[in-house]
């Protein structure tokens, strides 16, 4: 596609993540700097289908860079998954003259953008907004750094009470399909075991490890579990361990949605600002249907059709680090 983009639609889709507002701010102000009109689309693809679209000005994004969540709201839209729903969305974009889109979200959002662009020849740029860091093609996603730091802060507090009572704590963090939050927060807090969806869980090995640590009088243990681990979440693991080791005092803590909220970290604000700036640059330069990532601190562009097929893979080195440092 070589068509010139003059009016940009901007939406946030899927799960919210800290830093989305920083990205929104960057897209709007960079677009205006280049004499483009930028339109906010409320509640993701639902807003496109329902024509909940409004023109944004520079002041529309004042005082939002430090806020979590997204001022454009987010939602999942079943109607957009159907051809009739996408045609309705396209007709609404036509009413506003919108000829380019910036989508801030995860791989599901990118999949929708790719399908929409193929059907209606609308240039789309994706920005990876997800706390899970599960999109191949970027070292970081918007919201991951804040979410993992939120988890680390909570886990540190749990360790204090675990130490006071000589307890095993099983802490469940977010990560339905990806274990990066569990992996990073577990290493950062010195967890004895980390369970992630990407690796098969051998619970008997965990039982054996706990028995061995008990013999060494190591009574304080943390196990970090990603919610999508194949064995189940923290409650399922706790039930199994209590059956095998009834004398071990075990507690469960599920961190839940606190990991999605809160003021974004400096890193998330900066990478979101960089990505938002480059999203507009891509549209102007004719670099369409890519998502903007960062690799080795440089901007990296991955075609949307590749992004939706690939997942970040956890390097075996990470698991070796966990194994060695937890002994």
How far is residue 130's CA from residue 17's CA, in Å, rounded to a whole number? 6
Tell me how far apart the alpha carbons of residues 154 and 138 are, in angstroms, rounded to a whole number: 27
| Number of neighbours of residue 57 by Cβ within 10 angstroms | 12
CB atoms within 10 A of CB 180: 24
| C-beta atoms surrounding 233 within 10 Å | 18
Coil/strand/helix, residue 180: helix
CA separation, residue 197 to residues 26, 109, 127, 228 (Å):
34, 22, 24, 6
Q: What span, in angstroms and rounded, lies between the C-alpha atoms of 135 and 315?
A: 14
Active-site residue, 132 included: yes
| Catalytic residue chosen out of the listed positions 16, 99, 107, 132 | 132
| Other beta carbons less than 10 A from residue 305's beta carbon | 15
Residue 1, CA distances (Å) to 92, 99, 212, 306, 314 in order: 21, 12, 62, 17, 35
Q: Give strand pairing partners of 7.
A: 37
| C-alpha to C-alpha distance for 113 and 268, rounded to whole angstroms | 23
d(Cα 310, Cα 295) in Å, to the nearest integer?
A: 16
Q: Which residues are catalytic?
A: 132
């Amino acid at each position: 596609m070589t068509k010139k983009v003059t009016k940009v639609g901007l939406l946030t889709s899927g799960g919210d993540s800290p830093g989305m507002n920083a990205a929104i701010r960057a897209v709007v102000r960079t677009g205006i700097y280049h004499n483009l009109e930028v339109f906010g689309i409320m509640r993701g693809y639902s807003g496109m289908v329902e024509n909940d679209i409004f023109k944004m000005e520079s002041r529309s994004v004042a005082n939002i860079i430090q806020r979590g969540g997204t001022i454009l709201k987010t939602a999942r839209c079943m109607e957009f998954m159907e051809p009739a729903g996408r045609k309705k969305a396209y007709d609404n974009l036509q009413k506003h003259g919108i000829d380019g889109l910036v989508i801030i979200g995860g791989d599901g959002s990118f999949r929708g953008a790719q399908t929409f662009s193929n059907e209606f020849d609308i240039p789309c740029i994706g920005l990876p907004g997800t706390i899970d860091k599960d999109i191949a093609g970027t070292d970081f996603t918007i919201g991951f750094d804040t979410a993992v730091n939120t988890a680390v802060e909570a886990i540190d507090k749990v360790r204090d009470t675990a130490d006071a009572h000589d307890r095993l704590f099983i802490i469940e963090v977010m990560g339905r399909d990806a274990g990066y939050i569990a992996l990073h927060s577990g290493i950062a807090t010195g967890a004895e075991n980390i369970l992630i969806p990407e690796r098969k869980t051998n619970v008997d090995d965990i039982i054996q490890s706990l028995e061995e640590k008990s013999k060494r009088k190591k009574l304080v243990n943390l196990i970090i579990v990603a919610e999508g681990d194949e064995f189940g979440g923290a409650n399922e693991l706790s039930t199994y361990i209590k059956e095998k080791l009834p004398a071990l005092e075990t507690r469960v803590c599920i961190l839940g949605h606190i990991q999605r909220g809160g003021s974004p970290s400096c890193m998330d604000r900066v990478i979101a600002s960089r990505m938002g700036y480059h999203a507009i640059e891509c549209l102007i330069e004719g670099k369409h249907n890519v998502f903007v990532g960062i690799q080795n601190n440089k901007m990296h562009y991955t075609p949307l059709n590749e992004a939706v097929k690939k997942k970040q893979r956890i390097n075996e080195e990470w698991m070796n680090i966990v194994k060695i440092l937890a002994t």
